[in-house]
Structure 1
Amino acid sequence: MKNKIALKADHIVKYFYEPEKFQVLKDIGFEVKTGEFLTLTGKSGSGKSTLLYILSTMDTSYEGSLVINNELLTGRSQNQLAAFRNEHIGFVFQFHYLLLDFTVLDNVMLPALKLNKKSKEEIEHKAYENLKLLGLENQALKMANKLSGGQQQRVAIARALINDPSIIMGDEPTGNLDSKNTRNVFDIFKQLTREKGQTIIAVTHDDDFARNSDRVIDLSDGKIVQ
C-alpha cells in the first residue's frame, strides 16, 4: 500500500500579482505515497501554505499539474473540485472554523451529511467513533463554544475524518495547541497512517512535529531545499 502514489505535483509554478508580479513557487515537483506522513516546513514567506492550498485544490491559479488518487485535478471546475475535496480530502487548519452555535456532534457530522452517502444514523455513529478516538465523546452534545481551544481543535480533526478521506491536509494543525495536545494530535495522525493507510500532508513550524513525521519537505524562497 505504501508504494501507491496518493498525490503527485509536477512543475508547480505560482505567481502573486499584487502589489506587483512575484513568483512565490518555482517549479515544485514531488510525490507522496499512500499512508505517508509528510510535513512541509520553511520560514514564513517560503511558500509552504501557498503550496498546501494548491495541493488541496482550493487554489487553481497555478502552472503545472496536480494528480490525486490517479485523477488529474488541474483544469477542473470549482464545483467538480468542491465535490472531490468533500469526498477525498480532510482539512485541519490552525483555526478550528467550527460553527460555535451548533453542538460538537453536529459540527462533526456536517461534511458527511453534505456528502449524503450514508444514513443519518450511520453518520452519527461514525461521528461518535471519531470523537472517542480524540477523547471527546463525553463532549458530543455540548455547544462548540463551550469547549477549550484544544478541545475545539480536536473536534475539527474529528470533523476532518468523518468522510474517511484518503488524504488529510493540515495548515499548522497544532499551531494553537499546548505540547500535550500537540503530542496527542501527532499520535492520532500517526495512527491514521499506520492503521487506516490515510495520507497526511501538514504544514508546520514545529520542529519536533516535523522531525517525527515520515518525511520533511523544506521550502525556501519558493523552492524545495531538501
Structure 2
Amino acid sequence: MQNDIILKADSIVKYFYEPEKFQVLKNVGFEVKKGEFLALVGKSGSGKSTLLYVLSTMDTDYEGRLTIKDTLLTNKKQNELAAFRNEHIGFVFQFHYLLPEFSALENVMIPALKLNKKSKAEIEEIAYEHLKLLGLHEQALKKANKLSGGQQQRVAIARALINEPSIIMGDEPTGNLDTKNTQVVFDIFREISKERGQTIIAVTHDDDFASNCDRIIELRDGVIV
C-alpha cells in the first residue's frame, strides 16, 4: 500500500437480517489519503451511515476487507479493535454525547485517560490546548450541560482530537447546528486536515458542507455512484 493511503475498503458487503434479509452495502471499495477531507453523501437509506460504522470498526459483521494505517482490521477481536479505535480514530456524532456533570475539560480528557500513555497533568494540559484551538478555553471548567449546542459540539471535536488520531469520523457532525455553527465546525475540520494532516471522513446531508470537502463519495442503494 502506498504511504499516503490511510484507509482502504475492499469489496465491503453488508446485510441486515431484520425484518428480512436485505443487502445494504454492495461491494463497496475505495481508498482515502492521509489529510483528505472526505464527505459521504446519499439519501436516507443509501447505506452511508452503515458504511461509516464499518469503516470505524464498530460494526464487524460484514464481508470484505478493511485496512487502516497498513493494519488489516477485518476479523480482529473486539478488544483489539477497541484499543485501535481509541488510539487511531476520533469520533464526532450528530449528538455530542458529553457527560453533562463533567466540565468541558474533563470531557475532553476522557479518551486520553483511557489510552493511559501520558500523566494526568500532561493530559489536562493537552486538553486545555485543544479547547484553546477551538476557542473554548474560557469555558474549560464549565459543566457540559451549561454550554450552548455549538460549544458542546466543539468540546466533542476537542475530545475526538485528544489522542491525535489519524482519522476523524463524523456522523452528521453539523446535523444539530445552525448555519453559523456549521461553518465554524467545517472550518475547524478544514484546518485539522490541512495543518495537521489528519484525515476527516464525514457523513452529511448538508450539500454546502459536502461541496466544500476535498472529495465526495455518493452512495445510492448501497453502491458508490
Indicate the TM-score class for this superposition, using the shorter chain for normalisation.
Answer: over 0.9
Structure 1 residue aligned with 2:169: 169
CA offset at residue 200 of structure 1? 0.3
Distance 1:121 1:103 in 2: 16
Unaligned runs of 5+ in 2: none
Task: Report the number of matched residues.
Answer: 224
CA offset at residue 44 of structure 1? 0.3
Structure 2 residue aligned with 1:145: 145
Structure 2 residue aligned with 1:135: 135
Matches within 5 A, 1:1-226: 4-225=4-225
Alignment deviations for residues 3-34 of structure 1 (CA, whole Å, 9 cap, x no partner): 61010000000000000000000000000000
Q: TM-score, structure 1 length as denominator?
A: 0.98
CA offset at residue 180 of structure 1? 1.0
Q: What is the root-mean-square deviation in Å for CA atoms of aligned residues? A: 0.9
Q: TM-score, structure 2 length as denominator?
A: 0.98
Alignment deviations for residues 137-188 of structure 1 (CA, whole Å, 9 cap, x no partner): 0111011111111111111000000000000000000001111111111111
Look up the SS of the partner of 2:15 in the other structure: strand
CA offset at residue 46 of structure 1? 0.2
Look up the SS of the partner of 2:180 in the other structure: helix
Look up the SS of the partner of 1:26 in the other structure: strand
Alignment deviations for residues 198-223 of structure 1 (CA, whole Å, 9 cap, x no partner): 00000000001000000000000000
Unaligned runs of 5+ in 1: none
* Superposition misfits of 4+ residues, deviation over 4 angstroms: none
Distance 2:101 2:124 in 1: 18
Q: Identity of paired residues, percent?
A: 78
Distance 2:129 2:159 in 1: 11
